Amino acid sequence: MTVTLAPVPEGEHAAFFVLLRAYMAEMDRFDPDAAHTPFDVERYIAAMLEDMEGREFLWILADGARAGLAIVRTLPDFPDDRRMVATIGEFYVRPEARRGGVGRAAVEAILADHRARGTYEVEAGILRDNLPARAFWERLGFELRFYQTARRP
């Protein structure tokens, strides 16, 4: 099996967002706030489209077929803006494509791309309660750096 990444052309945004919505619905079970305050996917999509600086929408292709998606944003680091940091904000492999190496190969492709670009660091965001995702990223050498806490005033 060959796994590649492909930029999502504007003409394919609708199909990309259909898959993104499916991913977000799956993630609700890991979001303790989702039952009380559902995540507004449409607002999220609109916000991303309004601010595309450094953002890439990517198809994950397995033998040429769409097996998932990734959203990667590369911006200058803070406080050292001479370094670029890429954040994998969303990463989804369709359930039927899981457990066969697609996710690992896609992450390796992202890392190889950013090595070639000279990116300083690649990070991935996960929900606190998504233990399967945490285990996946740790198997790939990503280290937990911090927990971010929040509360309503």
List per-residue pLDDT tens for the chain, 153 residues long: 999 999 999 999 999 999 999 999 988 888 777 767 778 999 999 999 999 999 999 999 999 999 999 999 999 999 999 999 999 999 999 999 999 999 999 999 999 999 999 999 999 998 888 999 999 999 999 998 887 777 778
Per-residue model confidence (pLDDT) at position 85:
97
Q: What share of the chain is helix, strand, coil (3-state, %, to 5)?
A: 40, 25, 35
Count of other CB atoms within 10 angstroms of residue 128: 12
Residues facing 76 on adjacent strands: 84
Per-residue model confidence (pLDDT) at position 65:
97
Per-residue model confidence (pLDDT) at position 147:
77
Find the DSSP H helices in 41-130.
41-50, 102-117
Distance CA 25, CA 19 (A): 10
